[in-house]
Amino acid sequence: MPCTVIVGAFWGDEGKGKIVSYLALKDKLDICVRTGSVNAAHTVWMEGKRYALHMVPAAFVYEKCRLLIGAGANVHVAKFLEEVEATNVKNRIAIDSQASIIEEKHSIQDKTSAHLKGLGTTGWGIGPAIEERVRRTAKLAKDIPKLQPYLTEVSKEVNEAIDAGEKVLLEGTQGLMLSLFHGTYPYVTGRDTSASAICSEAGVGPTKVDNVMIVFKAFMTRVGAGPLPGELAKEEAIKRGWFETAAGTGRDRRSAPFDFELAKKAVMINGATQATVTKLDVLYPECKGAGTFEELPKDAKQFIKEIERQTKIPVVLIGTGPEALDIIDRRK
Ligand code: IMP
Ligand code: MG
């Protein structure tokens, strides 16, 4: 803090929602800006209740945090309104007037366009919505009557908050390997997902960022098509307890062991300064609920140390269970 960017390292679903919700509660965030769009579902467990958030920033769990959606985001109006209701954040959420709108027609185009066939997109219409924005024909948040009560200038709010020393978090979506520029093209999403792009979507310059926190999951997963180095057969994934289904689409997640080369690439391109590792308890069940690094079994400690050795950045947060507060916090 004051300005931290959260990014995913692999193909999304690393557990950014959990990390953001933890930081919101623990560090008492003043502002959280969500970027990207409705294709990304961020899972937050709060007091036994599960939220899979497609629009509302995961920091909603801290009731004093101001929640913003950046100018680079694509807003799904119905989903936004539904989630604002479900999380009860009406009086503290706002959208940049220039955020663009993702519509039903984009979803239909996503599912029927020949050029998107076989990519395994989420079907929400991200690619077509972004194409429309590039054509300069997209609707913006300011054009939508139902969004009038929520409009703001996110870049102004955020930069003023940073200048005032407030704690700001920029919540990235997906992961580096799904980046339009740096990922496994063409099996990628419709935008860059790196830290620089997240800043750009929020309207924050690179000199204003103090910290880029990269989120690794203890193993890798991917939904949709495209390469996944070291991919396991589904039966093996089930046997290891790694088999997951997607929070957003319910599809099977493919899985593979942690890849150090990809991890290093993700750290490099994001300029990451700190790492977090989620789901260590899935890899090493003895870790479940552990609150300190010392409690971890030897092989789990070694795994964390190997990540630090290879990426050359410290692993500051370690997830040991699904709830927001199931975290080993090694920050000073
Ligand atoms: P799109 O973003 O819907 O265009 O899908 C492009 C690719 O990105 C597909 O492989 C999707 O499964 C993947 N993808 C998009 N959003 C997410 C996400 O939030 N988590 C994981 N994969 C995603
Ligand atoms: Mg997800």
List per-residue pLDDT tens for the chain, 332 residues long: 699 999 999 999 999 999 999 999 999 999 999 999 999 999 999 888 999 999 999 999 999 999 999 999 999 999 999 999 999 999 999 999 999 999 999 999 999 999 999 999 999 999 999 999 999 999 999 999 999 999 999 999 999 999 999 999 999 999 999 999 999 999 999 999 999 999 999 999 999 999 999 999 999 999 999 999 999 999 999 999 999 998 778 899 999 999 999 999 999 999 999 999 999 999 999 999 999 999 999 999 999 999 999 999 999 999 999 888 899 999 98
Pocket perturbation via mutation, ligand 1, pick of 13, 37, 74, 122 by most ligand atoms within 8 A of CB: 122
Give the pairing type, strands 74-75 and 100-101: parallel
**Residues linked to residue 277 through DSSP beta bridges, in sequence order:** 216, 318
Which residues have any ligand 1 atom within 6 Å of their CB?
A: 11-13, 39-41, 119-122, 124, 126-127, 173-174, 178, 187, 189-190, 223-224, 248
Ligand 1, closest atom to CA 125?
Answer: 3
- 9, 140 contact by CB (below 8 A): no
The rounded Å distance from CA 223 to ligand 1 centre is 7
Distance CA 69, CA 57 (A): 8
From the CA of 174, the nearest ligand is 1
The residues assigned a catalytic role are 13, 42
The rounded radius of gyration (Å) of the Cα atoms in the chain is 19
The rounded Å distance from CA 175 to ligand 1 centre is 9
pLDDT reported for residue 322: 86
Taking CA atoms only, the protein residue closest to ligand 1 atom 17 is 40
pTM summary value: 0.96
Give the pairing type, strands 74-75 and 42-46: unpaired
Taking CA atoms only, the protein residue closest to ligand 1 atom 1 is 121
From the CA of 38, the nearest ligand is 1
Nearest partner of 203 among 154, 273, 275, 256, judged by Cα? 154
Nearest partner of 261 among 302, 301, 306, 225, judged by Cα? 306
